[in-house]
Amino acid sequence: MTTVRNLACLSVFLLAACGADPAPGPVEQIIVREPGAAPVETAAVVTDAAPAGALLAEGKAAFASCSACHALEQGAPSGAGPNLFGIVGSPAGKVAGFSYSNAMKTSDITWTTSELDSFIADPAAKVPGTTMVAGAIADPAKRHAVIAYLESVTAN
């Protein structure tokens, strides 16, 4: 007697692997606009500059370390240091009535913002023999702010 085995026992496990594909997500955003319409703003404009008002406020605060020696109001008398009104863009050593060091008088500097920056960072290195012996600012951001403040007062 022959035993016939029914081998028609097909595995069904392959079907189990047949999960439905996940629905495809949107791959890009489609922006619809009328022909000729202005371009749509798709992202906020990001700037890293501090608002001008904040910079000037910081510069004004930093100028407190200068004001012991320097006046900044137009026409105000010089103190231990010369009046700094209008200093940005001016030649060094030219405030009338102030007694400068020879070093400053003969420095031939024009006070651009970058010349001011290096002077305020280290006055004696920039103008060896200067009589400005205090008031240096080590922090570049603070120097930037104080120079912006000097410039803003000039412009007013």
User: Binding to ligand HEC by residue 59, rule CB under 6 A?
Assistant: no
User: Binding to ligand HEC by residue 80, rule CB under 6 A?
Assistant: yes
User: Binding to ligand HEC by residue 72, rule CB under 6 A?
Assistant: no
Choose, by CB under 6 A, the member of 57, 65, 124, 151 that binds ligand HEC.
Answer: 65
CA distance 96 to 111: 16
Using CB under 6 A, which of the segments 4-12, 28-36, 46-54, 100-108 binds ligand HEC? Answer: 100-108
Place of tokens 């890293």: 48
Choose, by CB under 6 A, the member of 56, 59, 93, 144 that binds ligand HEC.
Answer: 93
User: Binding to ligand HEC by residue 137, rule CB under 6 A?
Assistant: yes
* CA 87 to mean position of chain CA atoms: 22
CA distance 133 to 141: 21
> Looking at the DSSP assignment, which residues form a beta bridge with residue 110?
91
Number of residues that bind ligand HEC (CB under 6 A): 28
Compute how many other C-beta atoms are within 10 angstroms of the C-beta atom of residue 131. Answer: 15
